[in-house]
Structure 1
Amino acid sequence: MANILHSSIKNREEIVNSLGTEKDVVHLSFGINDSYARGMGIAVFSVLENNPDLRFHVHLFGTTLSNESISRIIELAKMFPLAVTTYTFKDEAFQGLPMVGRYTHAIYYRLFIPLILADITDKVIYLDADTLCVGQYNDLITLDISQHTLCAVNDEKRARAKLCPVLKLTSGNYFNSGFLYINIEKWVARDTTNRVINELRENGDKFKFPDQEALNVVLEHETLLLPKEYNYIVDIIYKRVGHEKALPAGVILIHYTGKCKPWHSWGGSNVADLYYSYYERSPWRGISLDMPVSYKEMKRYARVLWFKGDYLSSVKWMAKYMNTKVFRKRTHD
């Protein structure tokens, strides 16, 4: 499988390396397309800022990045010691692998990362692009995971209660795959990629979150569960504007699950504001936050603006919300 995967890489390019002669490097990986390059970049910026004693080599798997994204990554490497390598797959790389529901072959990116990096490192951190690091990884990288295929963090209680019986997870555990600390040696030795793909072939059409659920089924008894601080899950719009709880002390990684992302202007919560404090100091600061498109987003944004004291703008967006909702209703009548 490893040789097949290497031959499936269309292009491998080290786009920047300001690490010098550093040997003790932490390897960090993402599976993205260019539309998520901004999120990835801010995630990496936050990791670097909060871990000044560590040196990172970031591996980006997916589709080709734009010149603009690459230039911002290079700017990031001028701010911190950093190496970044991109890997783009050939069009036929995933031929023959099952398509699951509405999901593209991008769900396979993280399954192949350990195989492709096996000649480079024995461990790798995988992060989703909608994350923000606010703590240090020193304890993580010294953790003994020699007997486990990976480390992860349990999903929220309601997710476990719903999915454990469905997936027949007798342990009662169901981890979120937005953060994984992978033991590459064990992953490869246990043929993990093939086992997960086989699970997707057999049951993928039953899964709501295909790759995450397949990983849970296959690795239920091979995963070391870490405290929730390593993948603290928040849904920005789960609470009403101004009613969210404060972020607990000791959180290392915030994971912004849900449809509303922290680069959306209508987020309007303390954890969204925290994200923006990193955003505006990163090389991606010149890109404006995404503005509302749907009437529900407009309504949320109007409430955010009101809560922040920008009453005139709030009224304008509430008017846009009303007009858009009325127009939408008329077109559906």
Structure 2
Amino acid sequence: MEFHVVYISDDNFASKLGTSLLSMFEHNLDLQIVVHILDMGIDALNKKRLQRLCANYSAKCIWYEAVDIKIQLEKMKLHMPVENNSIATLGRLFLPEILPSDIDKVLYLDCDTIIEGHLKDLAKLKLDCALGVVKDVNYSFFKKRPELNGINDYFNAGVILINMEQYRLTMGVQNLKEYIKKDYLFADQDILNIIFKNNKKILSPIYNSVNRVRMVSPSCLLRWMGENEGELYSIKELMEAHTSPIIIHYTSSVLGRPWEINCIDPKVSTWRNVYSRSPWSEEKLTMKQLSKSNKIGRMLYRILPERMFCAIDYAFAKKKCSNL
């Protein structure tokens, strides 16, 4: 049985895409993976590296020219207020137009992911709704913004299992241009949450273990996010995502990201170990220039008890949110 996986990337994230791919292949040798890449400007060298990587693991690699979509979106001069929003991620909204109609199910992955386990359960899962998603681990007040109209179980769009038939049916009746023009804080993630608010299945957080899950203990995490146990996930579920994730998602945070030399993410070595075996291993990591608030945040994370750090961070984030 073929298992379809889709990535979207420009040249800036080609090496991250390749690192994610390599980790997936290494942990899923017995899975017949078909890789779909929406190309938003990957150069010839990186494209060749990605093709060779797929060939080394006998995986099909299908390319889709998506530069025109990127140009159209750039011309719209979109308001993208959050650091890790990008034009490329908006390509998720156009998957029904781009992917072949005979694909029943596909796993969408952000390029900043590492696969640490087998994906067989996702490959076997029969979705009776449009999306299989993981709840977003974010401050409760971010999820209660007026423009979200009281959505329950707001999800992170970095890992999405998609029932393509239902996805096409739902997206086909939407006026995407009108959605895209609006100033959503989390861009297409907000749009997807609004469109699919009643058409999704909640998956275990092991399939999208974001930075906050790694930063503190599960009980402290719930207090930090302003959630009660069960509203987000149970302590047991969060502990599994903390200690034994299947998919690690390196979302933007005060700790930095693993391709930055000064990153202090608890799972930074996991990404770099895979990267060191990739075709991009000779390329130097970058140095992130830290803002004053970043420097203070990192210092507090290092020296304060986790409860105190979380309380201060929560207050700072709430004030920042009120100014958006």
Using structure 1 for the length normalisation, give the TM-score.
Answer: 0.71
Q: Do residues 249 (structure 1) and 265 (structure 2) align? A: no
Question: How large is the RMSD of aligned CA atoms in angstroms?
Answer: 3.3
Shift of 1:77: 2.9
CA positional deviation for 1:52:
1.1
Write the mapping of 1:1-333 to structure 2, written as runs, cut at 5 A.
Answer: 24-89=1-66, 91=68, 95=72, 99-102=77-80, 105-145=87-127, 147-158=128-139, 160-170=140-150, 172-190=152-170, 192=171, 194-195=173-174, 197=176, 200=179, 204-205=182-183, 207-234=184-211, 248-259=242-253, 260-294=256-290
- Alignment CA distance shift 1:107-1:129 (3 Å): closer
Q: Deviations over 1:34-59 (max 9, x none)?
A: 00001111011111111111021211
- Please report how far the alpha carbon of residue 294 of structure 1 lies from its aligned counterpart in structure 2 after TM superposition: 4.7
**Following TM superposition, by how much is the alpha carbon of 1:130 offset from its aligned partner in structure 2, in angstroms?**
0.8
1:254 deviates by 0.7
Q: Which has the higher strand share?
A: 1
Q: Give 3-state SS (helix, strand or coil) of 1:56's partner.
A: strand
CA contact under 8 A between 1:152 and 1:225: conserved in structure 2? yes
Number of residue equivalences: 272
Amino acid at match of 1:74: Q
Matched to 1:164, the amino acid is K
Sequence identity (%): 26
The structure with more radius of gyration: 1
Residues 86-108 of structure 1: per-residue CA shift (max 9 Å, x gap): 22235378749954314765343
- Say if 2:37 and 2:62, in contact at 8 Å, map to a contact too: yes
CA 1:297–1:287: 2 relative to 1, 3 Å: farther
Structure 2: how far apart are the matches of 1:232 and 1:196? 32
Q: Which stretch of the first structure deviates more once superposed, 249-258 or 215-224?
A: 249-258
1:201 Cα deviation from its structure 2 partner: 5.2
Structure 1 portions without partners, runs of 5+: 1-23, 304-333
- Provide the TM-score with structure 2 as the length reference: 0.73
Residue 197 of structure 1 aligns with an amino acid whose one-letter code is L
Which letter does structure 2 place at the counterpart of 1:291? M
Aligned partner of residue 29 in structure 1, secondary structure: strand
Q: Letter of the aligned partner of 1:188 in structure 2?
A: R
Equivalent position SS for 2:210: strand
SS of the residue corresponding to residue 26 of structure 2 reads helix
